[in-house]
Amino acid sequence: MVTKLNNISVNVLFLLLFTISCTAQSKVIDIKKFSRNADITEAFTRAWKEACASTGASKIIIPSGIHKMKAVNVQGPCKASVEIQVDGTIQAPADPNALKDAYEWIKIQYVNSFTLSGKGTFDGQGAFAWKQNNCGTYQNCKRHSMNFGFNFLNNSIVRDITSKDSKNFHVNVLGCNNFTFDNFHVIAPKTSINTDGIHIGRSTEVKILNSNIATGDDCVSLGDGSRKVIIQNVTCGPGHGISVGSLGKYTKEEPVEHLVVKNCTITGTDNGVRIKTWPSTPGTTTVSDMHFEDIIMNDVRQPVIIDQEYCPWNQCSKKDPSKVKISKVTFKNIKGTSKSKEGVILVCSRSVPCKGVELSDVSLTYNGAPIVAKCVNVKPKVTGKAPICSA
């Protein structure tokens, strides 16, 4: 009798575990369920609605091949985690007007536990838009669509995906918490204008890991409110390097805090690692606890730079100093080659000079000789092999 009861208990336990296992499996939604046309715009939206309404984890599959897609805007909250696996190439319309002034081509927002995965490519087909870009002449220029807008996502990841030839920034991260990019790739030529790889704003615990970013503007840029950001094992170039800012242009900007840039290689860029703030503007935010470590520079025009007189295209005034306070910044173990003799440029504000800046083992050469450092309104601590500042 005891043996029989034990056997029943074992069977019940097995059925319970089997039920739990089946429940835990992801619901798979092939986008071909909704359309077999080349244009998957409507199919994508319908697949998202089904996935978001699922009470269990779900996965949307976009198979290999070339797919066309216009602007999409999908959002939660969803009842469970959602993954989009892209194995093909998704193309935006080449004509920017076909996206109907969408700020982002693909906008995903208000979701917990979102994943974008696969070996696929999102091709923004931005060449025509770059030719129309006149932001170097006009401040109020028309901004074309970014490839991705990830807004207010928590505990999410983008892995193995490629963003190609965006019309504007490739990725905008806004209001996110615990968001990771791993083995993420950005591809665009040096001539592509305003095509930042990943721009982060008002987000916490963003990680960019094991990624390759080649574009026409900043590989990574941090806007106001970026906190606890890690950029590690990233190759950058061409482009404008890895930048904090620009900051100070607007009132009520939030502080930028706790950045680590580590084990990165930057090649053929205009800048290497940079902090930039606007002069003659009302913003009074702060930048603190910035760490740039173990970085290789290859033929970078300005490898290490703090620029508190940032004024692109001379579209601003340098009459009044920047009001942004910069403190606790370390540049450590930075090696390689500079395309300019002044490989370290630290130009801080005369109104709020930089505090707690350290140069440690910054060993860069220009034409085979050690670089020099230019320092204004800052007295950095220099340790190890690093250039001594001149005014």
Select which of 144, 240, 258, 291 is catalytic.
240
Do residues 221 and 168 touch, judged by C-beta distance below 8 A? no
In sequence order, the 6+-apart residues with CB closer than 8 A to the CB of 70 are 39, 41, 92, 93, 98, 99, 100
Q: How far is the C-alpha of 279 from the C-alpha of 277, rounded, in Å?
A: 7
Q: Is 3 helix (H, G, I), strand (E, B) or coil?
A: helix
Handedness of CA 138, 302, 193, 150 (dihedral sign): negative
Q: Do 141 and 132 meet the contact criterion of CB atoms below 8 Å apart?
A: no
Alpha carbon dihedral 312, 377, 374, 356, in 10-degree steps, equals -100
Tell me the pLDDT tens digit for each residue of 181-238: 999 999 999 999 999 999 999 999 999 999 999 999 999 999 999 999 999 999 999 9
pLDDT in tens, 326-370: 999 999 999 999 999 999 999 999 999 999 999 999 999 999 999
Q: Which residues contact 198 (CB under 8 A, 6 or more apart)?
A: 170, 171, 173, 181, 184, 186, 208, 213, 219, 220, 221
Rounded-to-integer distance, Cα 342 and Cα 365, Å: 10
Question: Which residues lie closer than 8 Å to 8 by C-beta, 6 or more apart?
Answer: none
Residue linked to tokens 């928590």: 154
Q: What does CATH list as the number for 28-390?
A: 2.160.20.10
Task: Kindly state the average pLDDT of the residues 371-382.
Answer: 97
Tell me the one-letter amino acid at 224. D
- How would residue 313 be classed by pLDDT, with cut points 50, 70 and 90? confident
pLDDT in tens, 1-22: 444 434 434 444 433 433 343 3
**Beta-ladder partners of 114:** 82
Tell me how far apart the alpha carbons of residues 56 and 79 are, in angstroms, rounded to a whole number: 7
As a whole number, mean pLDDT of residues 153-175 equals 98
Task: Tell me the domain boundaries of the chain.
Answer: 28-390
Three-state DSSP state, 312: helix
Active-site residue 170, yes or no?
A: no
Query: Residue 141 pLDDT > 90, yes or no?
Result: no
